[in-house]
Amino acid sequence: MTHTGEKPYECKQCGRAFRSASRLRTHERTHTGKKPYECKQCGKVYRYWSGLRIHELTHIGKKPYEFNDHGKSFYSSNFFLNHKRVHTRVKTYECKECRKAFDNPTFFQKHEGSHRKGKPYECKECGKAFAFSSSLQTHERTHIGKKCYEHKQRGKGFSHLRSFSRHMNTGERAHKCKICGKIFHSPSSFQTHEKSHTREKRYKCKQCGKAFIYFNAFQRHQRSHTGKKPHERKQCGKAYISPVSFRYHQLSHTGAKRYECKQCGKGFNLPSSIQYHEMTHTGEKPYEYKQCRKAFRCASSLRIHGRTHTGEKPYKCKQCGKVYGYWSGLRIHELTHTRKKPYECKECEKSFYSSSSFLNHKKKLH
């Protein structure tokens, strides 16, 4: 069957096919939640024997797979091979549907499933859909704060197996940036961070010439030209270019605010939001512009301020070609073409293009 590619054993729940009945039985545990393999030392249970075997090595501290180039060692052959690919960056698994390439067979199989059967598993809390029930189960832990994977020696818990594995293999202080001292758990995250200091912009847009440090930022920017918004919430029909913006919007539906300020009790959906808010109490502004010494709470505000010095205007009106330094400026300008004034004063029925003009009007006259 390995030569013919035949997979006669199909899962009735998700449609995934396998070459042997034993593999199908093993896969079915992802749906039933059955975990027949138990660790005798700590009682932790596993779906697969291989998972138990790797876990048992954490008790004795033995890492049998060593990378000869720098002596780093790993508990499992999978972790070892994944790490090896970080050095070689060879992506051997290519999707026939969309040509996306992967260096990890598990991620490749999951990606293929997204083409085959769509995303039948939906989170009741936020509406996010998944191709596999296991992915949904992992996602649901983010809502309830459940951390199934624990490093007992340090008392640190993780919601995702991937985060736990990375923590176990790389240690807590594996990659430290020499410039700013920031610490990273994975070599790929560390390499991405290093680019932020060199400010090298390798990815250039052919349409407008704008360049980017990160490939994912470049991809998001390209969608601004096509108008494509692939991340849509079915409940309200609102769509977004970036997955991050989409996740922010999803949280507005749940009403859940997981992060609370200890000083004033204000609640926030995201850890980054509470970090910025806490600076309003401390007065901390860590991002300083070297030319004028003006300081800001976040890096994005620093970048936007920089345009007042450089004269950069990256936002262009498609109708008349007028350019703006800020996206908000372009958005207000575009309303002048449609003649739409969304902000109306109930006192005098006068309407405005922007909320700032509307608020100024209310302060002066009413």
Q: What is the pLDDT of residue 173?
A: 44
Query: By mean pLDDT, which of 85-89, 190-194, 219-223 is the weakest?
Result: 85-89
Residue tagged 């600076």 (tokens):
279
Gap between the Cα atoms of 166 and 74, Å rounded:
10
**Token code pair at residue 328:** 């908000």
Q: What is the pLDDT of residue 149?
A: 57
Cβ pair 206, 225 in contact under 8 A = no
Q: Which of 47-61, 63-77, 101-115, 167-181 has the highest mean pLDDT?
A: 47-61
Higher pLDDT, 133 or 44: 44
Instruction: Tell me if residue 347 falls in helix, strand or coil.
Output: coil
Gap between the Cα atoms of 97 and 131, Å rounded:
16
Residue tagged 């270019």 (tokens):
241
Strands, E, within 166-286: which ranges?
175-176, 183-184, 203-204, 211-212, 231-232, 239-240, 259-260, 267-268
Q: What is the pLDDT of residue 322?
A: 92
Query: By mean pLDDT, which of 95-109, 111-125, 307-321 is the weakest?
Result: 111-125
CB contact set of 79 (below 8 Å; sequence gap of 6+): 65, 165, 169
Q: Mean pLDDT over all residues of the chain?
A: 76
Higher pLDDT, 38 or 154: 38
Cβ pair 251, 268 in contact under 8 A = no
CA distances from 351 to 135, 274, 356, 361, 363 (A): 48, 34, 12, 10, 15
Q: What is the pLDDT of residue 70?
A: 62
Rg of the chain over Cα atoms, rounded to whole angstroms, equals: 25
Share of the chain above pLDDT 70, in %: 78
Q: What is the pLDDT of residue 320?
A: 92
pLDDT tens, 267-287?
887 777 888 888 888 888 888
Burial class (CB in 10 A: 0-12, 13-18, 19+), 81: middle
Cβ pair 318, 302 in contact under 8 A = no
Ramachandran class of 352: left when φ > 0, alpha when ψ lies in -120 to 50, beta otherwise: beta
* Residue 171, number of CB atoms within 10 A of its CB: 11
Q: What is the pLDDT of residue 172?
A: 44
Q: What is the pLDDT of residue 167?
A: 57
Tell how strand 9-10 and strand 315-316 pair up: unpaired
Higher pLDDT, 133 or 27: 27
